Amino acid sequence: MSDIKFIDGLIVKEPHSRAPDFVKAKLSIKRAELIAWLEDQDGDWINADVKVSRGGKWYVAVDEWKPEREKEPERKGPPAGTPADFDDDIPF
């Protein structure tokens, strides 16, 4: 398992016991810390998961999963860049 990457300035907590059922988590944001952390990240998107530790503490971890690149399918027909009027001398 890889190291957990936390998001500075973003805190998640279990909803209050009297919160309605549709409230799933409570978030707290420390603006200056979160902005500083975001400025150090690459890319347009940051995915994160809300998790619960074995000790019952809630936390947010960056989801760094990336799909594997699919192998390009084999091309059929003339190679890329071949002129459209290419004659390959096949008799049929």
Tens of pLDDT, residues 15-61: 999 999 999 999 999 999 999 999 999 999 999 999 999 999 999 99
Looking at residue 12, the DSSP 8-state letter turns out to be E
What 3-state DSSP class applies to 35?
A: helix
Of 45 and 71, the one with more pLDDT: 45
Strand partners, 50: 60
88: left (phi over 0), alpha (psi -120 to 50) or beta: alpha
Inform me whether the pLDDT recorded for 66 exceeds 90.
no
Inform me whether the pLDDT recorded for 3 exceeds 70.
yes
Contacts of 28 (CB under 8 A, 6+ apart): 10, 11, 12, 13
- CA dist., res. 30 & res. 32, Å (int): 6
